[in-house]
């Protein structure tokens, strides 16, 4: 069928719940991946606001108290020679599963720009590029034959914001934001799960709607209305079908739920595992609350414990389910936090934004665990060895997924734009993470 | 307390401002007829029969949504639908021009084009967003002549907080002269420079080669100014680029004279300047440009009806660049007032305006409509960047000035990201995820449950009772009010019957069945679309 703007869309496209948005603009090329990758899915733990690298995966007990503050005693992990922050004892037992990149750098200290660079793997300037989830949605979603009822790019619970996640690719590749509260007795995923409306009432409503859509019936044949009616059918497949039950954790082992923790983050990690198991290629857990300018250590004392439980259990649970080899878990925020603690007023013990050197963690999906990539200097202020830029890391993720870093992206004005930047674009490269890619 | 002199002064000022907004001529029947003649002769030529003129109820809803981005209230609907005055449509159009929502809605559209947002990639920052938005909205409210509007944006100097139009040169991802030229061409000429040859682009860029930016001691204040010490040279050389207008004429650079002024003078007198804006207005009101896409004007993308563009363009110039004059001509035309219901011969016509093309409501308009119907509000805020922004709870979403402040609903319904200024950024294509939200989200369900009066509930407190008693309205009246509130029309007999049957026979209690009726009407295509 043809829309007002003259573009053809297939029925599947039209229904594209899979696409949060509408139709693809730009080139009609196939979104085929170069080769089958080891990884099928990504769980991105987005550390909104920027977590301190010193307090998490790059402790500096020798740097002096003005750097490490109350966290003087990092702990040994199950991989000899790797120590991590003292508030992460559970993750310490899983270090063989993940690798720590201690030399992440982009040098940007502003949230919006750093978020853009860290999530898109693109330097600033020119077009606004899509973030990793949107690119994966392009190459692993409906365009590439994904037929699941669940959207291919899901974020719990709110979109990351600060910039448009799908960039110039537009609405079709935006994440589906669940809304709701993952740890609540019923996680009301917006549109999918609604408490208090029985199935019988859903059906009664549906009939009522069709008998009251008087004007709609006068526009039989109108392409816009036809399109909307297809969207409605597709929506009802999800509302009345079983696919939405994936968000319900009631039937999971109570002990497992306990291990994940009863926090929203813990519940989100469990649900992320279930979503990946159900075939969803990209899940973002938008983990808020890491922009800690003030009361930094008070907040860390609670938050790191919560993170430790959820993140460590996720790794273990993925492995138990045989999913870790095919699922990349990517932990990190837009930057780290200033290694030197700001004890002066008004911060009174805070850490500010720090983009020059920070840590990210990567696990599964063909990335080897138990390694440390790069290094920061003695106080965590500078990259000392093997700088890793966001495009190195994200390019590596694409490779593991079998997405060609040089593939074309759909552009509304038909410009020739590629998945990853190269040196030819004037970008300094640190190199893909070959040392841990198998 | 205000003294007499001040109050007189304010009164005089009010009268003057009011006078500025008065329409010079109330209606232009001849011009609207001319539009119809031009459109009809094209349709004749193609053998496409146009649809009939729409009914009053359809016109009412359509013109409110197109002019104000707002639904009529049930009172307004009753009043208009009971009017027998011959020129009631024309009168309604005039009334709507005077509404503050007119400026709100068109400020929204303009701020999309001007990429007004605090954060990435424009990085205007909150204070400047507020100043810029207020300036744009005021210009539209006061119906500032369009040539003056463009001149102000292109040639102002000063602080981003105090001289708001300078933000035009700040609301861009990049600030090099070539990037600025691209934005200027897109905004005011509806032209994309990516296909231009290098010489032409450099020539235009040279007009913007001496724009200076400097900070002040105030947080995020920035001065944009003509910097005569700057020069724009060919890369790697010291050869200064000579400014060249898009029509090929070169302009000599004169010491201490801002070249932007020469460009702006040329621009506002050029054909492409007026063609672009009349075509954009046509696109906004009718859903498709006469030149399409409207921001892709080039010699090999000819208008569907060249005479129509020139006619409107000439009208704009002769009216002294009065944008409302163009709105008025279009809105009063039969072409605008055609039904969206197709006939046997025009279902496939998607570009000749033989019918009114249906379009899904804009994201902000849709949520505002739902909020108006359910008497609820949305909460918006931003705790990055500083100063934090908290939007008053009762402010409509159409009035959101900052493109960085959003909600999952607005994102889902294709609100533009304001990255580029391209019209295609606003995506009104329906999707299943949108439908899912409207059919089955807690967000919408809770809103429906809020407006007890709409559901037909009222409370009665008898003197001898402590607790108020719930009273239910007559089903027929309740249903009529639902229809007027949601669809801006009276229900048909059959619809009333269906609704009453649902109340009586669905097996649900009165409250739940009323909730379901509102839910159903909100989910009809009639509600979700402009038609």
Stretch A261-267: mean pLDDT: 96
Does residue A405 come out as left (phi exceeding 0), alpha (psi in the -120 to 50 range) or beta? alpha
CA distance A176 to A152: 8
Interchain CB distance below 8 Å, B119 and A235: no
Helix (H) or strand (E) holding B226: strand B222-226
Q: For residue B16, how far is the Cα from the chain centroid?
A: 26
Q: What does the pLDDT read at residue A17?
A: 52
Instruction: Using the predicted structure, report yes or no on whether residue A18 has a pLDDT greater than 80.
Output: no
User: CATH class for domain A11-201+244-436?
Assistant: alpha beta
pLDDT band with cut points at 50, 70 and 90 for residue A244: very high
Q: Which of A146, A164, A172, A247 to mutate: most B Cβ within 10 Å?
A: A164
Contacts of B498 in chain A (CB under 8 A): 208, 211-212
CB atoms within 10 A of CB A328: 26
Where helices occur in A150-253 by DSSP H, the ranges are: 199-212, 214-218, 223-240
CA distance B515 to B20: 47
Q: What does the pLDDT read at residue B386?
A: 75
pLDDT band with cut points at 50, 70 and 90 for residue A35: low
Does residue B402 come out as left (phi exceeding 0), alpha (psi in the -120 to 50 range) or beta? beta
Place of tokens 């009114």: B356
Using the Cβ of A382 and the Cβ atoms of chain B, whether some distance falls under 8 Å is answered with: no
Contacts of A112 in chain B (CB under 8 A): 119-120, 123, 384-385, 404
Q: What does the pLDDT read at residue A30?
A: 47
How close does chain A come to B252, measured CA to CA in Å? Answer: 30
Backbone angles phi, psi at B529, to 5 degrees: -105, 155
CA distances from A269 to A244, A290, B328 (A): 17, 17, 56
Report pTM. Answer: 0.91
How many beta-carbon pairs under 8 angstroms link A with B?
A: 227
Between B25 and A201, where is the model more confident?
A201
Interchain CB distance below 8 Å, A234 and B432: yes
Kindly report the average pLDDT of chain A as a whole number. Answer: 91
Reported ipTM: the value is: 0.90
How close does chain A come to B8, measured CA to CA in Å? Answer: 47
Helix (H) or strand (E) holding A156: strand A153-156
Q: Which two tokens stand for residue B243?
A: 């400014």
> E strands within A229-324?
282-287
Whole-number percent of chain A with pLDDT over 70: 92
CA distance B531 to B514: 26
Instruction: Using the predicted structure, report yes or no on whether residue A26 has a pLDDT greater than 50.
Output: no
How close does chain B come to A147, measured CA to CA in Å? Answer: 14
Instruction: Using the predicted structure, report yes or no on whether residue A19 has a pLDDT greater than 80.
Output: no
Whole-number percent of chain A with pLDDT over 90: 84
Interchain CB distance below 8 Å, A127 and B427: no
Residue among A22, A194, A211 whose CB faces B442 most closely? A194
Contact B380, B396 (CB under 8 A): no
Closest chain B CA to residue A116: B120
Q: What does the pLDDT read at residue B20?
A: 41
Helical axes B177-189 vs B259-268, angle rounded to 10°: 20
Sheet of B211-215, strand order? B158-159, B222-226, B211-215
Residue among A4, A161, A238 whose CB faces B287 most closely? A4
Where helices occur in B69-194 by DSSP H, the ranges are: 74-81, 88-97, 100-113, 126-141, 146-155, 177-189
Using the Cβ of A185 and the Cβ atoms of chain B, whether some distance falls under 8 Å is answered with: no
Q: What does the pLDDT read at residue A349?
A: 93
Contacts of B434 in chain A (CB under 8 A): 231
Q: Which two tokens stand for residue B463?
A: 């003197």
How close does chain A come to B373, measured CA to CA in Å? Answer: 18
CA distances from B222 to A12, A407, B219, B382, B424 (A): 49, 40, 9, 22, 31
CA distances from A105 to A61, A134, A335 (A): 22, 23, 8
pLDDT band with cut points at 50, 70 and 90 for residue A162: confident
Interchain CB distance below 8 Å, A225 and B525: yes
DSSP state for residue A213 in the 8-state scheme: -
Written as one string, the DSSP assignment of A65-104 is HHHHTT----EE-SSTT-EE-TT-HHHHTTTTTEEEEEEE
Contact B482, B521 (CB under 8 A): yes
Stretch A135-147: mean pLDDT: 94
Q: Which two tokens stand for residue B492?
A: 């048909």
Question: Would you list the domain boundaries of chain A?
Answer: 11-201+244-436
CA distances from A128 to A27, A120, B81, B145, B183 (A): 18, 9, 47, 33, 15
CA distance B524 to A161: 31
Q: Which distant-in-sequence residues (6+ apart) come within 8 Å of B352 by Cβ?
A: B39, B42, B43, B46, B48, B304
Low-confidence ranges of chain B (pLDDT < 50): 1-26
CA distance A288 to A213: 42
Q: Which distant-in-sequence residues (6+ apart) come within 8 Å of A176 by Cβ?
A: A20, A151, A153, A154, A155, B433
Stretch A392-397: mean pLDDT: 98
Q: Which of B185, B402, B440 to mutate: most A Cβ within 10 Å?
A: B440
Residue among B384, B441, B523 whose CB faces A190 most closely? B441
pLDDT band with cut points at 50, 70 and 90 for residue A6: very low
- pLDDT tens per residue, range A281-325: 999 999 999 999 999 999 999 999 999 999 999 999 999 999 999
Nearest CA-CA partner of A39 in A326, A331, A350: A326
DSSP state for residue B492 in the 8-state scheme: P
Beta bridge partners of A204: none
Coil vs helix vs strand at B354: coil
Closest chain A CA to residue B526: A215
């Amino acid at each position: 069928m043809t829309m007002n703007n003259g573009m053809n869309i297939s029925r599947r496209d039209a229904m594209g719940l899979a696409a949060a948005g509408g139709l693809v603009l730009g080139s009609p090329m196939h979104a085929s991946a170069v080769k089958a990758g080891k990884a099928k899915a990504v769980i991105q733990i987005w550390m909104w606001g920027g977590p301190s690298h010193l307090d998490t995966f790059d402790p500096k007990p020798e740097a002096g108290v003005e750097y490490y503050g109350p966290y003087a005693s990092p702990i040994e992990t199950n991989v000899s020679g790797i120590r991590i922050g003292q508030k992460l004892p559970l993750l310490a037992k899983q270090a063989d599963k993940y690798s720590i990149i201690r030399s992440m750098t982009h040098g940007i200290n502003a949230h919006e720009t750093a978020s853009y660079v860290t999530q898109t793997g693109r330097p600033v300037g020119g077009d606004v590029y899509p973030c990793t989830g949107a690119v994966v949605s392009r190459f692993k979603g409906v365009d590439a034959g994904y037929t699941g009822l669940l959207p291919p790019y899901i974020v719990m619970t709110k979109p990351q914001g600060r910039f448009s996640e799908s960039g110039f690719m537009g609405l079709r590749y935006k994440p589906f934001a669940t809304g709701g509260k993952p740890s609540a007795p019923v996680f009301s995923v917006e549109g999918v799960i609604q408490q208090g409306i029985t199935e019988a009432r859903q059906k009664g409503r549906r009939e009522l709607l069709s008998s009251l859509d008087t004007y709609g019936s006068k526009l039989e044949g109108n392409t816009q209305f036809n399109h909307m009616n297809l969207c409605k059918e597709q929506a009802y497949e999800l509302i009345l079908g079983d696919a939405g039950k994936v968000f319900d954790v009631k039937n999971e082992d109570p002990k497992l739920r306990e291990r994940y923790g009863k926090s929203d983050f813990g519940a989100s990690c469990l649900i992320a595992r279930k979503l990946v198991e159900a075939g969803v290629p990209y899940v973002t857990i938008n983990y808020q609350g890491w922009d800690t300018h003030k009361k930094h250590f008070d907040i860390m004392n609670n938050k790191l414990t919560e993170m430790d439980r959820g993140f460590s259990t996720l790794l273990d649970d993925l492995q138990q389910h045989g999913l870790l080899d095919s699922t990349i878990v990517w932990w990190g925020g837009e930057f780290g936090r200033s290694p030197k603690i700001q004890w002066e007023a008004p911060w009174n013990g805070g850490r500010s934004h720090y983009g020059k050197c920070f840590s990210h963690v990567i696990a599964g999906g063909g990335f080897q665990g138990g390694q440390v990539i790069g290094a920061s200097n003695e106080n965590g202020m500078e990259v000392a060895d093997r700088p890793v830029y966001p495009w190195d890391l994200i390019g590596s993720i694409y490779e593991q997924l079998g997405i060609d870093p040089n593939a074309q992206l759909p552009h509304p004005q038909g410009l020739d734009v590629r998945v990853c930047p190269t040196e030819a674009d004037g970008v300094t490269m640190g190199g893909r993470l070959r040392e841990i890619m198998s | 307390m205000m003294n007499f002199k001040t109050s007189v002064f304010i009164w005089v000022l009010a009268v003057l401002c009011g006078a500025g907004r008065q329409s010079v001529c109330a209606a232009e029947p001849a011009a609207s007829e001319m539009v119809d003649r031009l459109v009809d002769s094209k349709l004749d030529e193609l053998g496409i029969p146009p649809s009939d003129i729409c009914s009053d109820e359809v016109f009412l809803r359509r013109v409110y949504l197109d002019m104000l981005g707002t639904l009529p209230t049930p009172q307004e609907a009753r009043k208009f639908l009971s009017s027998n005055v011959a020129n009631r449509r024309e009168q309604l159009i005039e009334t709507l021009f005077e509404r503050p929502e007119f400026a709100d809605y068109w400020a929204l559209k303009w701020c999309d084009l001007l990429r007004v947002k605090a954060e990435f990639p424009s990085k205007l920052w909150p204070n400047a967003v507020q100043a810029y938005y207020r300036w744009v909205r005021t210009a539209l409210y006061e119906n500032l002549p369009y040539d003056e509007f463009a001149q102000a944006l292109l040639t102002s100097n000063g602080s981003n907080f105090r001289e708001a139009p300078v933000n035009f040169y700040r609301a861009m991802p990049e600030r090099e002269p070539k990037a600025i030229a691209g934005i200027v061409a897109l905004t005011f000429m509806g032209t994309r420079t990516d296909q231009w040859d290098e010489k032409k682009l450099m020539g235009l860029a040279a007009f913007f080669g001496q724009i200076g930016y400097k900070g002040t001691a105030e947080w995020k204040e920035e001065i944009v100014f003509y910097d005569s010490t700057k020069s724009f040279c060919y890369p790697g050389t010291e050869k200064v680029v000579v400014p060249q207008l898009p029509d090929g004429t070169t302009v000599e650079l004169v010491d201490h004279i801002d070249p932007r002024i020469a460009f702006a003078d040329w621009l506002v007198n050029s054909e492409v300047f007026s063609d672009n804006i009349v075509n954009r207005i046509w696109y906004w009101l009718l859903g498709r440009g006469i030149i399409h896409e409207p921001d892709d004007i080039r010699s090999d993308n000819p208008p569907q009806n060249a005479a129509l563009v020139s006619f409107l363009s000439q009208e704009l110039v002769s009216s002294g660049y009065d944008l409302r004059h163009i709105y008025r001509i279009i809105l009063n035309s039969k072409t605008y007032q055609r039904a969206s219901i197709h006939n046997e011969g025009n279902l496939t016509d998607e570009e000749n305006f033989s019918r009114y093309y249906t379009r899904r409501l804009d994201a902000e308009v849709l949520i505002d409509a739902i909020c108006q119907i359910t008497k609820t509000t949305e909460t918006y805020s931003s705790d990055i960047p500083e100063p934090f922004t908290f939007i008053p709870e009762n402010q409509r979403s159409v009035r959101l000035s900052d493109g960085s402040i959003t909600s999952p609903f607005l994102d889902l319904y294709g609100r533009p990201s304001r990255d580029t200024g391209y019209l295609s950024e606003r995506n009104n294509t329906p999707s299943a995820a949108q439908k899912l939200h409207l059919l089955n989200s807690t967000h919408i369900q809770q809103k429906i449950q809020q407006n007890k009066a709409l559901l037909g509930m009222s409370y009665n407190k008898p003197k001898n009772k402590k607790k108020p008693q719930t009273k239910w309205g007559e089903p027929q009246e309740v249903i009529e009010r639902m229809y007027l509130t949601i669809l801006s029309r009276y229900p048909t007999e059959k619809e009333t019957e269906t609704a009453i049957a649902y109340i009586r026979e669905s097996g649900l209690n009165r409250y739940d069945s009323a909730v379901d009726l509102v839910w159903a009407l909100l989910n009809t295509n009639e509600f979700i679309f402009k038609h």
